[in-house]
Amino acid sequence: MAKKKIKVASPKTGCAACMPNTMEIPLGPQHPALKEPEHFLLEVEGEIIVNVTPRIGYVHRGIEKLAETKTYSQNLTLVERVCGICSHVHSISLVNAVEGILSKHDFEVPERAQYIRTIILELERVHSHILWLGIAAHEIGFDTLFMLSWRDRELSMDLLEEITGNRVNYGINEIGGIRRNMTKEQLDKTIKYMHLTIERLDRYVEICLKEDTIRLRTQGVGILLPSKAKELCTCGPTARASGLAVDIRYDDPYSAYKGALRDILKVVTYDTNDVFSRVVVRLIETIEACKYIIWLVENMPDGPVFAKPPRKIPEAKILSRTEAPRGELIHYLWSNNTNKPYRLKITTPTLANILSVSEMLKGDYIADSTISLASIDPCFSCEDRMITIINKDRRKSKVWTWNFDQLRKYSREWNAKNKRWKK
């Protein structure tokens, strides 16, 4: 499909006598379509967007700094809270990093633990993608699809609740294995629920392919050409929807993807480069994920699920990559032979994808801005980091720069002041 973009005159060439013919419309930080605060300044001409300026940094939470003060097993519960939806994949990423260090020192994680971790990873992908389908439907005003898809998402949520004990931040990982084993009934129930989910997903694929209004709203909207996608370093379903076959599960396997699962792994791509292609890629990927879960349950090995790791993690620097539902997730860990990390650096997929949004939006209508933005499945709180703002033309902003020592001093003071909650 050709790139169908509307040619727009640059704002400078407009009639000089009249008002400047572009208008600035803020999208965020508070907007009903955004569930988290983020700001995009849209310059529009009539209904057509000519320029987009993203601005991040509203919900920086200092998780990387906090991670340095906690032990590894406490950190597993901390990094899970980076994202509310793809939480397990964060702890998998950290666990993989730590176990990667330990594997140099003859430490083996039991096979069954890896399988159960992967089941939860894929369950998480299922519920995250169905959640995204609902949000995308809500953005284009199709609330019935939103409600129905979230109803069917409950199946995978219930499974997660039953397997791990929590609905959102599962807390099932531990360095060296997992904390709960799966019983026979749970395995059977997983297969049953996954078949039900596949049935419902087939229905949604049918709806999305057949429904005229969905096609009208998504086809030819938010186009990201493969060359641009590569240039802007997109990842995950956003890249796959532009025809780039990148998938960390396949390219750089971890957990149970290393084994025989890699043979049945499919990298789903689609080549219309628009929002519709992202819908299709995500839906097909969800069905595939259900199939992987069934395969994993059927081929589940027996054995222990936990091996006791050493208390101290030897000194090393390691980079661990995982495929989150939204794309490539990177954890960089620097250990220093203690039970706490020296430095932990997290890069979430939204940070890689967010620049492609401004490319997608240019030349589209305002009406399409939210669905284009939602099509990368943004998760702003995960990607936010502290930045220095250089604001040229706005009101003078407060620039807050700290060097390392000042930051340390502030954190020490803060810690001393708020050490314990007290009555």
Which ranges of 331-400 would DSSP assign to H, the alpha helix?
A: 349-361, 369-374, 380-383
Phi, psi angle pair for 92, to nearest 5° = -60, -40
Phi, psi angle pair for 209, to nearest 5° = -80, -30
Question: Does 151 sit near other proteins (CB under 8 A)?
Answer: yes
Residues 208-227 that bind other proteins (CB under 8 A): 209-217
Question: Does 62 sit near other proteins (CB under 8 A)?
Answer: no
Q: How far apart are CA 49 and CA 8, in angstroms?
A: 9
Q: Compute CA distances 258 → 86, 238, 265, whole Å.
A: 21, 24, 11
Q: Pairing mode, if any, of strands 48-55 and 173-174? A: unpaired
Question: Does 32 sit near other proteins (CB under 8 A)?
Answer: yes
Residue type, 115: Y
Looking at 47, 199, 202, 315, which residue binds other proteins (CB under 8 A)?
A: 47
Q: How far apart are CA 157 and CA 121, in angstroms?
A: 12
Question: Does 99 sit near other proteins (CB under 8 A)?
Answer: no
Q: Tell the smallest beta-carbon distance from residue 171 to other proteins (Å).
A: 4
Looking at 133, 145, 313, 324, which residue binds other proteins (CB under 8 A)?
A: 145
Question: Does 277 sit near other proteins (CB under 8 A)?
Answer: no
Is residue 270 within 8 Å of 241, Cβ to Cβ? yes
Phi, psi angle pair for 82, to nearest 5° = -60, -40
Question: Does 91 sit near other proteins (CB under 8 A)?
Answer: no
Cβ closest to other proteins, residue 27 vs residue 324: 27
Q: How far apart are CA 23 and CA 50, in angstroms?
A: 10
Tokens standing for residue 255: 């957990």
Question: Does 323 sit near other proteins (CB under 8 A)?
Answer: no
Residues 175-204 that bind other proteins (CB under 8 A): 179-180, 203
Residues 101-140 that bind other proteins (CB under 8 A): 137-140
Q: How many residues bind other proteins (CB under 8 A)?
A: 61
Cβ closest to other proteins, residue 28 vs residue 327: 28
Of residues 38, 7, 17, the one with CA closest to residue 379: 38
Residue pointed to by tokens 């480069």: 273
Cβ closest to other proteins, residue 210 vs residue 398: 210
Question: Does 420 sit near other proteins (CB under 8 A)?
Answer: yes
The beta-strand segments (E) located in 263-386 are 316-324, 327-335, 341-347
Cβ closest to other proteins, residue 169 vs residue 322: 169
The DSSP output letter for 260 is T
Nearby residues of 164 by Cβ (< 8 Å), 6 or more positions away: 120, 170, 171, 172, 180
Of residues 399, 252, 257, 247, the one with CA closest to residue 325: 247
Which stretch of DSSP H or E encloses residue 406? helix 404-417
Cβ closest to other proteins, residue 215 vs residue 343: 215
Question: Does 370 sit near other proteins (CB under 8 A)?
Answer: yes
Looking at 10, 53, 143, 188, which residue binds other proteins (CB under 8 A)?
A: 143
Residue type, 390: I
Looking at 11, 62, 141, 301, which residue binds other proteins (CB under 8 A)?
A: 141
Question: Does 9 sit near other proteins (CB under 8 A)?
Answer: no
Part in contact with other proteins (CB under 8 A); list of ranges 19-27, 124-132, 191-199, 243-251: 19-27
Which stretch of DSSP H or E encloses residue 41? strand 39-45
Q: x/- contact string, 68-87, with other proteins (CB under 8 A)?
A: --x--xxx-xx--x------
Cβ closest to other proteins, residue 206 vs residue 251: 206
Q: How far apart are CA 401 and CA 407, in angstroms?
A: 9
Q: Tell the smallest beta-carbon distance from residue 179 to other proteins (Å).
A: 7
Question: Does 169 sit near other proteins (CB under 8 A)?
Answer: yes
Question: Does 147 sit near other proteins (CB under 8 A)?
Answer: yes
Question: Does 249 sit near other proteins (CB under 8 A)?
Answer: no
Which stretches of the chain bind other proteins, using CB under 8 A?
Answer: 23-26, 31-33, 44, 46-47, 70, 73-75, 77-78, 81, 137-145, 147-148, 151, 154, 158, 161-162, 165-166, 169, 171, 179-180, 203, 206-207, 209-217, 365-370, 420-423
